[in-house]
């Protein structure tokens, strides 16, 4: 964690870098990695949706650049918090362990239609209806990710099982952590906390996030608030994908504000 921050501090040497994460463990690791820059950094435990309010209330100077690296980290995927179908752990999926609702709580409290909506919104899952039905019917049998994975496996053809599992886990994680509303609220408040001509870099890992970013970029352009510095998306090189296969779906977009 703190990899991008380390690079930015070393190459741009800013007066202040504000690092935000809702995961305390990620902040601890970043703190350690960035000890050499301790007079230039402020790492805070916060949700993206709270950043604008926090900065305004704490008189944080307006930013010249903002980097938004979305989604889930490898630290989280490989943890015992149930983010991945590759391991057998309780179905938790909370990025912020101080939040109260786990993914299992969400499954238990949701009706079949709500589950279908969650699976479709976060995973564009063509099996959303069938999956929602199965998960709803068998929810009392779910304790760990292995129980959940078994239900997902049985809800469609074997040859698509891995893709189905990845999309279902992704959808549940997005819903538990309210990632879409977090992103919408962050982007809504962003113009309040940036300098004229500030640059926004976003890294999205799936179409749901990317769609929200494109919606805001379009709005800012129409309102003459911003112009895209690059008209296309930047994707990881083959070398990067080989080194870090989890980067394969990443899309970097860059936009420069005008005023
Ligand atoms: C892809 S990782 C970032 C990795 C980081 N850029 C690095 O260089 O190590 C995404 C991080 O965003 C955090 N995150 C996701 N949604 C968040 C939100 N709404 N508020 C705060 N942090 C969030 C996750 O906890 C995770 O640590």
Residue 44, pLDDT above cutoff 90: yes
Q: 2 falls in which pLDDT band (50, 70, 90)? A: confident
Q: Tell me if 4 CB under 6 Å of ligand 1.
A: yes
Closest CA to 235 of 245, 246, 249, 255: 249
- The pLDDT assigned to 231 comes to 62
What does the mean pLDDT of the chain come to?
A: 94
Q: What is the pLDDT of residues 204-219, one digit of tens each?
A: 999 999 999 999 999 9
Whole-number Å distance, alpha carbon 156 to ligand 1 midpoint, is 32
Q: 230 falls in which pLDDT band (50, 70, 90)? A: low
- How do beta strands 226-228 and 63-69 pair? unpaired
How far apart (Å, rounded) are the C-alpha atoms in residues 47 and 67?
15
How far apart (Å, rounded) are the C-alpha atoms in residues 16 and 101?
34
- How do beta strands 41-45 and 63-69 pair? unpaired
| Residue located nearest, by CA, to atom 15 of ligand 1 | 71
The answer to whether 180 and 208 have CB atoms below 8 angstroms apart is yes
- Percent of the chain predicted with pLDDT > 90: 87
Residue 198, pLDDT above cutoff 90: yes
Whole-number Å distance, alpha carbon 140 to ligand 1 midpoint, is 31
The answer to whether 172 and 135 have CB atoms below 8 angstroms apart is no
Q: Tell me if 251 CB under 6 Å of ligand 1.
A: no
Task: Using CB atoms within 10 Å of the CB of residue 32, give its burial: 0 to 12 exposed, 13 to 18 middle, 19+ buried.
Answer: exposed
Q: What is the pLDDT of residues 47-63, one digit of tens each?
A: 999 999 999 999 999 99
Q: Tell me if 142 CB under 6 Å of ligand 1.
A: no
Q: What is the pLDDT of residues 14-26, one digit of tens each?
A: 999 999 999 999 9
Q: Tell me if 26 CB under 6 Å of ligand 1.
A: yes
Q: 127 falls in which pLDDT band (50, 70, 90)? A: confident
How far apart (Å, rounded) are the C-alpha atoms in residues 62 and 193?
5
Residue 108, pLDDT above cutoff 70: yes
How far apart (Å, rounded) are the C-alpha atoms in residues 36 and 27?
15
Q: What is the pLDDT of residues 73-91, one digit of tens each?
A: 999 999 999 999 999 999 9
- The pLDDT assigned to 220 comes to 94
Q: Tell me if 23 CB under 6 Å of ligand 1.
A: yes
Whole-number Å distance, alpha carbon 76 to ligand 1 midpoint, is 10
The helix or strand, by DSSP H or E, that contains position 64, with its residue range, turns out to be strand 63-69
Atom of ligand 1 nearest to the CA of 186: 19
The answer to whether 206 and 157 have CB atoms below 8 angstroms apart is no
Atom of ligand 1 nearest to the CA of 1: 9
| Residue located nearest, by CA, to atom 20 of ligand 1 | 47
Q: Tell me the best of 5, 17, 18, 22 to mutate to test the pocket of ligand 1, counting ligand atoms within 8 Å of each CB and taking the most.
A: 22
Whole-number Å distance, alpha carbon 120 to ligand 1 midpoint, is 23
80: CB partners within 8 A, 6+ apart: 87, 89, 90
Whole-number Å distance, alpha carbon 43 to ligand 1 midpoint, is 12
Domain 81-179: CATH class, spelled out: mainly alpha
| Residue located nearest, by CA, to atom 25 of ligand 1 | 23
**Alpha helices in the chain, H assignment, sequence order:** 3-12, 24-33, 51-57, 74-77, 103-109, 112-123, 128-138, 145-153, 161-176, 179-189, 207-222, 238-243
The domain segmentation of the chain, as residue ranges, is: 3-75+186-257, 81-179
- CATH T-level assignment (fold) for domain 3-75+186-257: Rossmann fold (3.40.50)
């Amino acid at each position: 964690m703190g990899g991008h921050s380390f690079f930015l501090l070393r190459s741009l040497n800013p007066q202040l870098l504000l690092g935000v994460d809702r995961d305390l463990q990620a902040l601890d690791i970043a703190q350690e990695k960035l000890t050499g820059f301790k007079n230039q950094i402020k790492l805070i435990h916060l949700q993206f949706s709270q950043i604008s309010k926090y900065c305004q209330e704490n008189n944080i100077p307006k930013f010249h650049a903002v980097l938004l690296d979305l989604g889930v980290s490898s630290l989280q995927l490989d943890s015992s918090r149930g983010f991945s179908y590759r391991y057998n752990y309780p179905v938790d999926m909370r990025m912020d362990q101080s939040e109260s609702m786990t993914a299992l709580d969400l499954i238990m409290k949701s009706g079949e239609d709500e589950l279908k909506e969650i699976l479709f919104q976060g995973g564009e899952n063509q099996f959303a209806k069938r999956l929602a039905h199965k998960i709803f019917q068998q929810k009392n049998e779910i304790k760990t990710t292995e129980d959940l994975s078994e239900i997902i496996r049985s809800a469609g053809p074997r040859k698509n099982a891995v893709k189905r599992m990845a999309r279902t886990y992704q959808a549940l994680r997005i819903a538990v952590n309210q990632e879409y509303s977090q992103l919408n609220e962050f982007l809504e408040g962003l113009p309040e906390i940036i300098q004229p001509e500030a640059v926004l870099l976003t890294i999205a890992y799936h179409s749901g996030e990317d769609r929200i970013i494109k919606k805001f970029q379009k709005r800012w352009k129409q309102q003459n608030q911003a112009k895209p510095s690059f008209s296309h998306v930047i994707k990881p090189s083959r070398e990067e994908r080989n080194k870090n296969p989890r980067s394969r779906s990443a899309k970097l977009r860059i936009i420069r504000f005008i005023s």
